[in-house]
Amino acid sequence: MSGVQEPLEIKFRLFDGSDIGPKKYAPATSVATLKESIIAQWPKDLPDVIYDNYWSTDGRNSNVGPVFYFIVVTIIGEVIPIDSELMRTPQQKWRLMTGKENGPRTVNDLKLINAGKILENNRTLADCRSPIFSLSLGDKVTVSVKAVTTISKTDDSFICATIDWWPKEKCNYGMCPWDSSSIINLDLNNTILFNAIKAFKSLRIRLGGSLQDQVVYKVGEEPATCEDFKLDKNGLFGFSEGCLSKCRWDELNAFFNKTGTILTFGLNALAGRRKAPQGNNHIGDWNTTNARQFIEYTVLKNYKIESWELGNELSGQGVSASVDPKQYGRDLIALKKVLSDIYKNSSTEPKILAPGGFFDAQWFADMLQTSGPGVVNGVTHHIYNLGAGVDKELIYKIQDPYYLDQIVQTYNDIETIIQDFGPWSAAWVGESGGAYNSGGKDVSNTFADSFCALLWHRLMGPGVLHTTHNGSPYLRAYAHCSKQKNGVTLLLVNLSNSTSFDVSVVSDLNLYPPKIGRSLASVQEKGQREEYHLTPQGGNIQSRVMLLNGQPLNLTCSGDIPEMYPFIADAAAPLYIAPHSIAFVSFEDFRAPACAKN
């Protein structure tokens, strides 16, 4: 951006955490002049011996691949790593190669690296002022993408958000976060909310949650009055029944229609049942009367519901209530009959999702066997694998790949159950709050994942590609066919708080390894790639400000979502993944027959 005229404020951050500066420099300042400024401000007492040992990719502290990054420089929120000439001793110590004590003395003792390329001394800051990432001293990793065939397909609207029923009185651990954020009290005139949903163009929103099995729908003569939820120690989850009025349903649908929302609605599955004398099991047939009235009114008003879900967390032992799986399967058949009747004159019939609860293998199998073919379209299950929001270890759990991988068995088991007992349906994660009881303070409400979700929605297409790498488990790698354009998009998540990764990406064109020789092609031979690097402000994952390519993602003055522009890099340049960062990387020239557009 050679046209930049404003002075650039630069701060140097050294490896020990201390800062030099800030100081302002003109855009015409050369790289050599900037280096001279660094040298002039170098602390006199900075040790000349610096070192660090990193865990090698096999998990042992060894001589393999120790890395070190020396100084970090910030230009208006953008990070420029600086390297000095280093060497490794047998004791794994890194020493400055200036030949003098107390740091670099000439401009040739320092390297400035912009997006993986060493900046020449005669370049100016204006020439170099672009998203900055990279010092190529991270763990070297090769990501391999099997590009001949896809291994799975996702829905076009894969990203989903849930709006719950909780009233403002819902509190956990001394926190009451639900004021003006639920189905019954959400401010539908909030510009920020409107713009956030609208930005997705087709965000899937599920209306449901813990209290949905205590909701009555005021669309007919009953109930006589429409009461709000109230605290009730004898009620499920400590609340009384609540009511959804016709007026509120109209308001909600007007809002969702304007924002282009794809809507899932969770029905009350406990209507007509009674609690068993022992335990939390509820017995008896589901009474479809109120649900039928509500669905009929919805169709009469031409409100678009993409899918209906029956009940919330009633599977297995349940949370606050449960239903026998065979009884529940019969209730699903009843729901199917209701929908087929009401939508008989419609061009499409909404999907049925079930059970919207925690996975129990036998319960899910009995449900699918009882309901039979063609009833359940999506087998929905909930994931709260991080435990309670009050857990003091929560911040560590979310960074631990070994802990996070424990949930893999659940996904595998669900897939097996569906293949064996319901191959006509698909597995859906209906709710994944991470930590239950409203999340964890200063964890769940930080490093906002809404921007990650938006980038996924825009970049990751439905075609899923098998992806592996030869590096640390702290690097997570995923690949999909790009959305609405050629090529492949990678999602790379670095869970480590200290290790960076230098990533090479290859396309595995071998259909049947290892029976025949591997056919690998680098995707870094030609063209360009688009990079979206998401990092927390100040490197603190508990920050509430997220940076995109070094720039804060702040709402505009009018409450709009900011533009999210990629950094364009040469395909041959090193791909640097910083600690505690999330990167979406799109390769338009990726050799991927599986993603060929017809």
Residues annotated as part of the active site = 313, 431
How many C-beta neighbours within 10 Å does residue 397 have? 17
Handedness of CA 219, 234, 166, 436 (dihedral sign): negative
How does DSSP classify residue 238? Answer: G
In the block, tokens 């825009």 appear at: 458
Distance CA 529, CA 523 (A): 10
CA distance to 165, 284, 316, 354, per residue, from 328 (Å): 22, 10, 11, 9
Residue positions counted in the chain: 598
Distance CA 223, CA 218 (A): 6
Distance CA 293, CA 220 (A): 7
Distance CA 127, CA 129 (A): 6
Bridge partners of 271, per DSSP, are none
Tokens of 344: 């008989």
Judged by phi (left if over 0) then psi (alpha if -120 to 50, else beta), residue 146 lies in: beta
Instruction: Note if the bond before 355 is cis, omega within 30 degrees.
Output: yes
Distance CA 20, CA 9 (A): 12
**465, 150 Cβ separation under 8 angstroms:** yes
Angle, in degrees to the nearest 10, between helices 450-459 and 191-200:
30
Tokens of 214: 């205590």
How does DSSP classify residue 49? Answer: E
- Report which of 211, 303, 208, 213 is spatially closest to residue 250, judged by C-alpha positions: 303
